[in-house]
Amino acid sequence: MKDLFLIRHAKSSWDNPELLDHDRPLNRRGRKSIVAMSKRIENHGWQVQQLLTSTATRAITTAQGLVESICKGGTVKAESTLYTFDDEVLMTFIRNYSGEEDAIALVGHNPAMEYLLEQLVFDNTPDKFPTCAVAHLELQIDHWRQLKPGCGSLKAFEYPKKAQ
């Protein structure tokens, strides 16, 4: 069995329209959301052995803000493949992941995160995947290469504006 955490980056800033999408930073709300979600992650006791993130500025900043709560003593590993809006790219990335860890987290973008969640968990998926949301999936697989549609169950779904 494997645990997968899908994390959508926190709210980004559109203040500078000349910045490329890849380079947009977080806005104030996004930075506050990271603090709130760090506390929720710690309250759940969620831990992963590897935190992987898109190379986009907003995703890296989100991952850096969450790493101590979800990957104690771990580091953030940026992967250019994760800068995608396509769930099939994420599915392929996870299948090709060569690590032996039993729990990993991906920080990425919508609609890829939302659609990947829907592919992996057929029942009880949320209608939306808000910014800075964390989906905890339990996967009925022994190796990452076995990832396939419907192999997961949603154990928890947290997001900044969710009532506690």
Q: How many residues does the chain have?
A: 164
How confident is the model at residue 164, as a pLDDT? Answer: 61
* Structure confidence at residue 124 (pLDDT): 82
Domains of the chain and CATH, by start: 2-158 (3.40.50.1240)
Instruction: Compute the chain's Rg from CA coordinates.
Output: 15
Which residues of the chain register pLDDT less than 50?
none
CB 77 within 8 A of CB 99: no
Indicate the angle between helix axes 57-70 and 28-44, nearest 10 degrees.
Answer: 30
Please provide the average confidence, as pLDDT, over all residues in the chain.
96
Sign of the C-alpha dihedral computed for residues 101, 102, 105 and 106 taken in this order = positive
The pLDDT tens digits for 9-43 are: 999 999 999 999 999 999 999 999 999 999 999 99
- Contact (Cβ atoms closer than 8 angstroms) between residue 126 and residue 26: no
Check: pTM over 0.85? Answer yes or no.
Answer: yes
Q: Strand ranges (DSSP E) for 30-69?
A: 50-53
pLDDT of residue 163: 66
Distance between CA atoms of residues 56 and 79, nearest Å: 10
SS3 86: coil
Q: What angle do CA 82, 79, 43 make, to 5 degrees?
A: 75
